[in-house]
Amino acid sequence: MKIKWNAADMSNLEGRTAVITGASSGIGYEIALQLAAHHAHVVLASRNQGRTEQVARQIATMLPEASIEAQVLDLANLASIRRFAETFSQRHQGLDILVNNAGIAGGPRRQTIDGFEMHFQVNYLGHFALVGLLLPSLCSRAGSRVVTTSSTIASQGKIDFDDLQAERTYKWIRAYAQSKLANLLFAFELDRRCQAVGGGMSSLSVHPGVARTNLLTGKESDWGRPRRGTEILIRVLQIVLAHPAARGALPALYQATDPSARSAEYIGISEGIGGGYPVVSKVPPAALDHVTAQHLWNVSEELTGARYDLLTQATGSACSIEPLG
């Protein structure tokens, strides 16, 4: 990796199509902005239709030649995920880049319309379903990439198969850490399955470090209560110590576009004075547990109904294509 890699090092992405979840603000917005600036066709995928369309117009104003569209995607609703995937496949011949960026943190235990704990579905399970539904589009493009966002807190996570939905014991930090560890387990397992069928599609993982985003702001109406102890503390740390969202977007931009990116590497952000650039991070040992990853995959297929049939075929399947770069 180039030292101090930044968005200026990105190549021309003309002819590529990208989907960014959670693209209406924060890191997702910054990822979308840079991909559009480098001539990819960018699909902003977020749950708030009005906000997402507003951001699409904003990017179009900033970059008059940008190719951009807004689509509704509510990761807390499996029906919304299916509609998004169907609409995408009708409008586009293939997908080159998918960045699983959207995420939530904090608040009391809430349940999605599908009956799952909110952190588990929005951060992880919804993305698992989305990738599965978009797999034909991804496999139709040479060197397609799926970039999944985790967090440094994944190192504190544990997959509790006896209480995945935190029905018996709920603490939001625990639920958040579990969801982010699940994302890492998924990213590595997806890549193993791609390679097993000789596929050119790559699954890569990132974390944005401590970035200044709205992850814990403006959520009181959703939560039904004001912020409390840990939520307040983390928000203060974000304000005092965090780097801008544009810096937090760099690991995902690197993994999504750079020819030297490697699926075995977990890319984060350098901290401290002179930091704020992509670096290789240590993978939490729990994320390398193949048995847990396979069990989580099987459970996720059962919960979502998403099937990765293209990755169970023999070598020579639709995913047997040459890598990007």
Residues designated catalytic: 176
Range of the domain at 282: 12-309
Q: Please, are residues 175 and 108 in contact by the beta-carbon 8 Å criterion?
A: no
Judge contact between 45 and 131, C-beta under 8 A.
no
- Return the closest-CA partner of residue 102 out of 156, 155, 147, 164: 147
Q: What is the CATH number of the domain that holds 234?
A: 3.40.50.720
Is residue 322 in a domain? Answer: no
pLDDT tens per residue, range 68-102: 999 999 999 999 999 999 999 999 999 999 999 99
Q: Over 60: is that where the pLDDT of 55 sits?
A: yes
Per-residue confidence (pLDDT) for residue 216, from 0 to 100: 56
Give the total number of structural domains in the chain.
1
Does the pLDDT at position 324 exceed 50?
no
Are β-strands 202-206 and 266-269 bridged in parallel, bridged antiparallel, or unpaired?
Answer: parallel
Residue 242 falls inside a structural domain: yes
- For residue 4, being part of any structural domain is answered with no
Q: pTM here?
A: 0.92
> Which residue in this structure is represented by tokens 């989907």?
19
66 is written with which tokens? 């940008």
- In the structure, what pLDDT confidence band is assigned to residue 233 with cuts at 50, 70 and 90? confident
Mean pLDDT, the chain, rounded, equals: 91
Calpha distance 235→204 (Å, rounded): 28
| Helix (H) or strand (E) segment spanning residue 148 | strand 145-149
Given a cut of 90, is residue 122 above it in pLDDT?
yes
> In this predicted structure, what is the pLDDT of residue 304?
97
What is the pLDDT, as a whole number, of residue 313? 58
